[in-house]
Amino acid sequence: MSTDLFTARPPLSILSDEEQAFRSAVAEFVDGEVRPRVAQMERDAKLDPALIKAFFEMGLMGIQAPEEHGGAGGTVMMVTLAVEEISKADASSAIMVDVQNTLVAHPLLAAASPAQLERWMPRLCSELVGAYALSEASSGSDAFGLQTRAVQKDGGWVLNGRKLWITNGAEAGLFILFATVDPAKGYKGITAFIVEREMPGFAVGKKEDKLGIRASSTTELILEDVFVPDANVLGPVGQGYKIAIETLNEGRIGIGAQMIGIAQGALDAAVAYVKERQQFGKSLAEFQGIQFQLAQAATELEAARLLVYNAARLRDAGQDIAQAGAMAKLLSSQVAERTTSLAVELFGGYGYTKDYPVEKFYRDAKIGTIYEGTSNMQLATIAKGMLR
């Protein structure tokens, strides 16, 4: 279904033959493996373990990882296409793939030692779910106001603290976790650690009961005297803030891809519905007022998509993407909210029920303006880039 709906539209951006083939393969996978599970996963508020296994088997959990480490040796653009396609069916499923590729694999590929890559990357590509642990109760938008402490001890570090809003927390076996080694140094005291789930003193706490992306786990992490060996320090001590910033910059492209996928899924459903729904002796699609609303939504969505694709292309070219990523996330999240809201309205009363897909798209879209940097934080980043 998703492939047919996409190819029915004239292309407004160009993909390479390899990218076209990859997107088509993901779309086929989504129709076969994701869509049939969406309703049940939404009811259970949990991803189907069989689907997670299928993500690994499809190679979607290691798209950017080098082939020598078991990955596909792909690009950020390919991650973007995968997340977009999956999000057309289910944003919860897409965010697992997104986090694995942009928030876990990326910092490892950027900062890990050869020994660390050899130890963890093949498993992350084949069977090990990862998570990114930065946020805390008192450090959301103030991302570097961390209270989690790391104190040096012979051969390693002892970590104490709590993390909140950790995506994939329930499923992850490995966490890219940030802690402060010297509060007096501010952000320059932050260090990244590779924390393994089975380490004594580490526990996954409360799972949040959320408005949207309900099948995606969002949890608390609890660290009580967790000993992390020196071999698990990611990058130089005191340089964790650089790893965090660069990772979030790329992560915003993934969120942008999620948002345009959600918006496209809602718009596809709305277009199909107005063609069939009859009022006053003709289909809703024949009313010019509705045609104009759909045309406006499609135009805004394409503008957001091009921003997201451009940010991905820039990242693959090794360019600074702080501003481009912020713009892509800002606009795509706004467009997703508007488009899904319109879809609910076009469905009328049916759109407000769980019998039709648009109410889920509507709920799932809201998180885009919040996580990995609120809309105000994106505006601040954009303004900083303009006025520096």
Residues marked as catalytic: 372
Extended beta strands in 134-268, E state: 149-153, 156-167, 174-180, 190-196, 202-207, 218-229, 233-234
| Amino acid symbol at 237 | V
Q: What is the DSSP string of 260-322?
A: HHHHHHHHHHHHHHHHH-EETTEEGGG-HHHHHHHHHHHHHHHHHHHHHHHHHHHHHTT---H
Scanning the structure block, which residue is given the tokens 């900062």? 111
* Contact indicator for 321, 315 with CB cutoff of 8 Å: yes
Task: Give SS3 for 148.
Answer: coil
Q: How far apart are CA 192 and CA 175, in angstroms?
A: 10
Rounded CA separation 272/293 (Å): 14
The CA-atom distances, in angstroms, between 53 and each of 48, 56, 126, 138, 204 are 9, 5, 9, 35, 21
Distance of alpha carbon 260 from alpha carbon 230, whole angstroms? 41
DSSP-based three-state secondary structure for 50: helix
Distant-in-sequence contacts of 76-80, Cβ < 8 A, 24+ apart? 76/102, 76/250, 76/253, 76/312, 76/315, 76/316, 77/19, 77/309, 77/312, 77/313, 77/316, 78/19, 78/22, 79/253, 79/254, 79/257, 79/312, 80/253, 80/254, 80/256, 80/257, 80/308, 80/309, 80/312
Are the CB atoms for 138 and 161 separated by under 8 Å? no
CA 1 to chain CA centroid, nearest Å: 23
What's the residue count for the chain?
A: 388
Provide the sign of the torsion angle of the four alpha carbons 57, 95, 347, 210, taken in this order.
positive
- Please, which residues have CB within 8 angstroms of residue 231's CB and are 6 or more apart in sequence? 115, 116
